[in-house]
Amino acid sequence: MDDAGLLEEIRLTITDLPSYGYRRVWGMLRRQRENQSAAPVNAKRVYRVMRVHGLLLQRKALPPRPQRRHDGKVAVAKSNQRWCSDGFEFRCDNGEPLRVTFALDCCDREAMSWVATTGGHSGDVVRDVMLAAVEKRFGNVPKAPAEIEWLTDNGSGYTAEKTRTFASDIGLKPLTTPVCSPQSNGMAESFVKTMKRDYVAFMPKPDAATAARNLAVAFEHYNEQHPHSALKYRSPREFRRRTDSSTQV
C-alpha cells in the first residue's frame, strides 16, 4: 500500500480518536489488518506518515512532580491474581456530577465492572462493583474459585467493615495502599487518566443519563479496541483471547 492509502486509514482512525498517538494508531491498524488477513504495517511507517502530514500529538511540557518513594509493583503475570479499584468523577454540561467506580484486572487491564451514579463512592456501590467483577469473570458463582487480591485506596467505601467482610465472602482479599501514596495504585490512576483523556473529554455529556449511556460505549471500546502499551499494544480482551488460545493444550 502506498502512503496515500495508509494516510486515509490513519485519518479514519483518528477522526473518532483524536487523542491517540502514533503507537495506538498503529495498534488499531494492526488489528484491522490481522482481521482482514492483510499485510502488516510497520509502526515506524505510521509515525513517518503522521509526522509528514502534521498528525502527531503535540507534546506538552509537564511541570515537575514531587517524588515519593514507592517500591511496590501493581502488575501481575496472570489474570485473576490481583484486581484494583478506584473511582473518578466529572461534570455534565448541565452541572450534574457523575461519579464512576470501577474494577480493573492488574494483568490484562480489562475494566471488568463499573457503576456510575450521581451519588458518592459508597460502600454499596463498591460492593456492587466487586460482585459484578466476580460474575463477569466466573459466572453466577458464590465466590471466586481462588482468592484474588483486591487493591484499593483508603476510601471509606473500601475500608468499611461491611465491604471487607463481603470481599472475603466472595473470594477477594482486601489490600489498601499506604496513606499519601497514590502511586501504590498507579494502574487504577493511569486508567482514570485514559478514560478522561480519550473518552470523557470527547463524548457528549449534556446530562447524567446521557453521559452514563456514552460511558457504557466508552468502557466497551476500551476493553475491546483500546491498544495498551503494557499489552504490546493489544486491547485488554484481545490480549486475553490471545493468552487463552496460547495456553490451550
Give which of 44, 53, 52 is closest to 22, Cα–Cα: 44
* 44/119 same-domain check: no
Q: Report yes or no on 213 lying in a domain.
A: yes
Angle, vertex CA 142, rays to CA 118 and CA 212, nearest 5: 20
- Among the residue ranges 57-61, 73-77, 122-126, 215-219, the one predicted with the least confidence is 57-61
CA–CA dist 39, 208 (Å, integer): 43
- How long, in residues, is the chain? 249
> Amino acid identity, residue 192?
V
Percent helix / strand / coil, the chain, rounded to 5: 45, 15, 35
> Amino acid identity, residue 204?
P
Our count of domains for the chain comes to 2
Question: pLDDT-based confidence at 215, cuts 50/70/90?
Answer: very high
* 97/17 same-domain check: no
* 17/121 same-domain check: no
pLDDT tens-digit series, residues 41-92: 888 888 888 888 888 877 665 454 433 333 457 889 999 999 999 999 999 9
Residue 174 near residue 150 (C-beta atoms within 8 A): yes
- Domain termination site, one of 59, 74, 98: 59
Residue 9 near residue 31 (C-beta atoms within 8 A): no
- Give the Å distances, CA to CA, from 234 to 43, 44, 48, 115: 14, 17, 21, 25
Give percent of the chain above pLDDT 90. 61
pLDDT, residue 53, reads 87
The yes-or-no verdict on residue 246 having pLDDT over 80 is no
CA–CA dist 202, 198 (Å, integer): 7
- Domain termination site, one of 59, 74, 94: 59
Q: Report yes or no on 69 lying in a domain.
A: no
Q: Where are the alpha helices (DSSP H) in the chain?
A: 3-16, 22-35, 43-52, 123-138, 156-159, 161-169, 186-195, 208-224, 236-247
The yes-or-no verdict on residue 156 having pLDDT over 50 is yes
CA–CA dist 34, 28 (Å, integer): 10
What is the residue range of 31's domain? 3-59
* 98/174 same-domain check: yes
Mean pLDDT value across residues 185-206: 94
Mean pLDDT value across residues 2-23: 85
pTM of this prediction? Answer: 0.81
CATH at 87: 3.30.420.10
* 93/213 same-domain check: yes
pLDDT tens-digit series, residues 16-49: 888 888 888 888 888 888 888 888 888 888 888 8
The pairing of strands 97-105 and 82-91 is: antiparallel
Q: Report yes or no on 101 lying in a domain.
A: yes
C-alpha cell at 26: 498503529
pLDDT tens-digit series, residues 105-117: 999 999 999 999 9
* 47/93 same-domain check: no
